[in-house]
Amino acid sequence: MKLLKSIILCGLGAAALSLTSCNDWLDVNTDPNTPSAQSTPYELRLAHIEFYTNSGHSFADWRTSMQCGDWTRYYGGGTYWYVSYWCPTTSPVTTPYQWWFVGAYCNVPDMYEKAMKDENWYYAGCAKIIEAYGTMLMADLYGEMPFDDIKTGSATPEYNTGKELYQRCLQSIDEGIALFEKGAPDPSKPALSTGDWWNKGDANKWLKLGYFLKARWLNKLNKKGAGKCEKDADGVYTTLKYDADLILACLDKAMQSNADNTVINHTDDNGPTIDNLGWAEPVDYSPIYSVCGMNAGYMVTKILEDNMTNFGGYGVEDPRADHVIPWAYCAYTKDNSAADGLKWKDGWRRSKGVDMQSGLNGAGGPLRAAYSADKGGWYINSTNVDRAGDTVYVEATSESKGYAAKQDLLYRRNGTDGSKESGSFYSRVSAPTYVGTYAEACFIRAEVLVNKGDKAGAFEAYKKGVKASIELMNQKLNVWCQEDPSLKDCPSFTPMVQADIDNYLAKGIGTAADITLGHIMVQKRIALMYDLELWNDMRRYDYNPAIFWGWAVPDYYKYDNDCSKRLPHKDWRRWCQCSHEQNYNANNLNAIGAKVPGARLKDSEGNDVVWYKQDDIYEIPVWWDSTQE
């Protein structure tokens, strides 16, 4: 960790001085050529920390969401196609780890210490909230991770258990909340707005984010049994239970409207600001665009299509469906009740969802559509006639004006207007990142209340969450269409009209009499879309198809022998540790196995085995997903 810290500090000056396309945060550095922990002011670290924290989390959000059943990729489409049919690989597991530890966390303790010494409570509070946010990411993905020993500077830090990570996160979030509740620091201190990219220096939003994250994390403890969370005099949680009253109390102090959200509004820019971890891409645009939107062949599944077009069987289409499900231009108009089962509008055709429970993958599909005016438009370039119908699947690829210097945000498959594709709302270059939202807070409240038997209260919170999600999406749709009015011609960009919103809220989401946990969790999935919380929810409710409507292990699982080796019980619970930990910290990684719930330390003959190298490591639950105290 000392080595990693020195590496990132060498790059800090370049990142600090170039993060100007979002704001003029970092125009002054006491030593711009060779910055060090001593010479770099704490206020100049925050934007850098926020960028890498968000990117690491976003990469994990996208990769884990591919496991949850709403998105897939074309047949043979590499790592994330494998993941979508439940074949774990080692390929996705390194980047979130690197971007958190190497890009972000190595700067957090120093920022905290300097801010505390300067009595700048807001910067110190940010440090603690981000420390908790990134550490919980590691706990959710890998289960165990070094934490305490990292701060000693050890090159081979000892591991903390999942429970200890959870305790540290709650302790850090409590300290962060307390620091913001101390009130504004002396006005002579650096203003929070100098370095804060996420909330633009709004301390009240940070305070609400702290309470929101605490509620989110306490809500994951449903397998620990009902009870009270208790902590000792040092602030360490000694008892961790599902404390419904505490969750609700935290939500009362979290976001109360969309105005309180922590939302990163990315921009379509190609300025001089690039990351320092080797991708050499601008920091302004959405990380989800970097890994999904600019790449080929990502497609919605039938699960997502069904839940957005006929939620709960109510027969009312979600007004967000047109903006999440991609469209292709076909220069051919049909009405919305076309006999071919497709939705057409003004020359655009909306994608169908890939049925992951069918034999489609086993039959070699779906394939990406190509476009040629000479061939009459969209076609499948394959000699397999059974694949000709795969043109109904439209990929989520989109474009950019700033970064890629294209004419607009529409992707053109062969560069012509006839081959335009809309992309998807959440994966565009300037799509917002939702760090913490009122909509999610509402869904957490609804979940707690429905589990307490308060259906009326649950429905009220649930409906507010759906409404908040729709309104938040509409805000960005309006921005895109104001920036480029021609985008209104594409149904994926046209803002939702109030009549459709009202009709959906009145007739398309159920009532207080019939609300179930399934209603809440599926609407939460739609509102979050690309988010690690989707996988967290599926794990803590054991992939129950009565809760996650349409879910089943994909059919292609049975065709790949690696699936049955790695997930023999079809029970995906964690990622494996990345190669850096396995190669350079192997002794400590192996030692923690004795405290991991479900880790296999012996083979069938009683011989010692390396627990983290077993094929089925992916089935070991992380601490909060187990009944272990």
Is the model's pTM score more than 0.75?
A: yes
Residues 305 and 451 placed together within one structural domain of the fold: yes
CB atoms within 10 A of CB 244: 18
Q: Return the CATH number at 212.
A: 1.25.40.390
| Burial class of residue 617 in the structure, from the number of CB atoms within 10 Å of its CB (0-12 exposed, 13-18 middle, 19+ buried) | buried
The answer to the question of residue 269 being in a domain is: no
DSSP state of 200: T
Residues 330 and 372 placed together within one structural domain of the fold: yes
Tokens of 600: 């296999």
The answer to the question of residue 359 being in a domain is: yes
Strands 230-231 vs 237-239: parallel, antiparallel or unpaired: antiparallel
Average pLDDT (126-147) is 98
Q: Is the distance from CB of 437 to CB of 259 less than 8 angstroms?
A: no
- DSSP code per residue over 57-103: HHHHHHHHHTTTTSEEESTT--HHHHHHTT---SGGGSHHHHIIIII
The answer to the question of residue 79 being in a domain is: yes
Q: Is the distance from CB of 173 to CB of 605 less than 8 angstroms?
A: no
Q: Which of 227, 254, 281 is the last residue of a domain?
A: 254
Residues 225 and 305 placed together within one structural domain of the fold: no
Residues 15 and 110 placed together within one structural domain of the fold: yes
Residues 123 and 26 placed together within one structural domain of the fold: yes
Q: Is the distance from CB of 412 to CB of 399 less than 8 angstroms?
A: yes
- Taking CA atoms, 285 is separated from 138, 266, 281, 402, in Å, by 24, 5, 9, 10
pLDDT digits (tens, 9 = 90+) for 230-254: 999 999 999 999 999 999 999 999 9
Average pLDDT (163-176) is 98
What is the spatial distance between Cα 514 and Cα 486, in angstroms, rounded to a whole number?
A: 42
pLDDT digits (tens, 9 = 90+) for 30-70: 444 445 666 789 999 999 999 999 999 999 999 999 999 99
| pLDDT of residue 607 exceeding 50 | yes
Q: Which of 440, 436, 426, 491 is nearest to 468 (CA)?
A: 440
Average pLDDT (215-226) is 98
Residues 500 and 617 placed together within one structural domain of the fold: no
Q: Could you list the residue range(s) of the whole structural domain that residue 40 is in?
A: 2-254
Residues 394 and 447 placed together within one structural domain of the fold: yes
For the chain, state the CA radius of gyration. 24
The answer to the question of residue 571 being in a domain is: yes
The answer to the question of residue 569 being in a domain is: yes
Residues 521 and 561 placed together within one structural domain of the fold: no
The answer to the question of residue 472 being in a domain is: yes
The answer to the question of residue 265 being in a domain is: no
Identify the bridge partners of residue 350 per DSSP, sorted by sequence position. Answer: 327
| pLDDT of residue 335 exceeding 90 | no
- DSSP code per residue over 337-391: T-TTS--EETTEEEPPPB-TTSSTGGGT-----EEEGGGTEEE---S-GGGGGGG
- 3-class secondary-structure state, position 581: helix
Residues 25 and 139 placed together within one structural domain of the fold: yes
Q: Model confidence at 333, in pLDDT bands (50, 70, 90)?
A: low
Residues 592 and 507 placed together within one structural domain of the fold: no
Residues 300 and 389 placed together within one structural domain of the fold: yes
| pLDDT of residue 364 exceeding 60 | yes
What is the spatial distance between Cα 164 and Cα 145, in angstroms, rounded to a whole number?
A: 10
Question: In the prediction, which pLDDT does 15 show?
Answer: 35
The answer to the question of residue 278 being in a domain is: no
Question: In the prediction, which pLDDT does 29 show?
Answer: 36
Number of domains comprising the chain: 3
Q: Which of 217, 224, 15 is nearest to 136 (CA)?
A: 217
Q: Model confidence at 284, in pLDDT bands (50, 70, 90)?
A: confident
Q: Which of 491, 506, 540 is the last residue of a domain?
A: 540
Tokens of 154: 């050890």
DSSP state of 279: -
Residues 107 and 205 placed together within one structural domain of the fold: yes
Q: Which of 511, 540, 569 is the last residue of a domain?
A: 540
Opening angle at CA 412, ends 321 and 385, nearest 5? 80
Question: In the prediction, which pLDDT does 273 show?
Answer: 60
Question: In the prediction, which pLDDT does 557 show?
Answer: 97
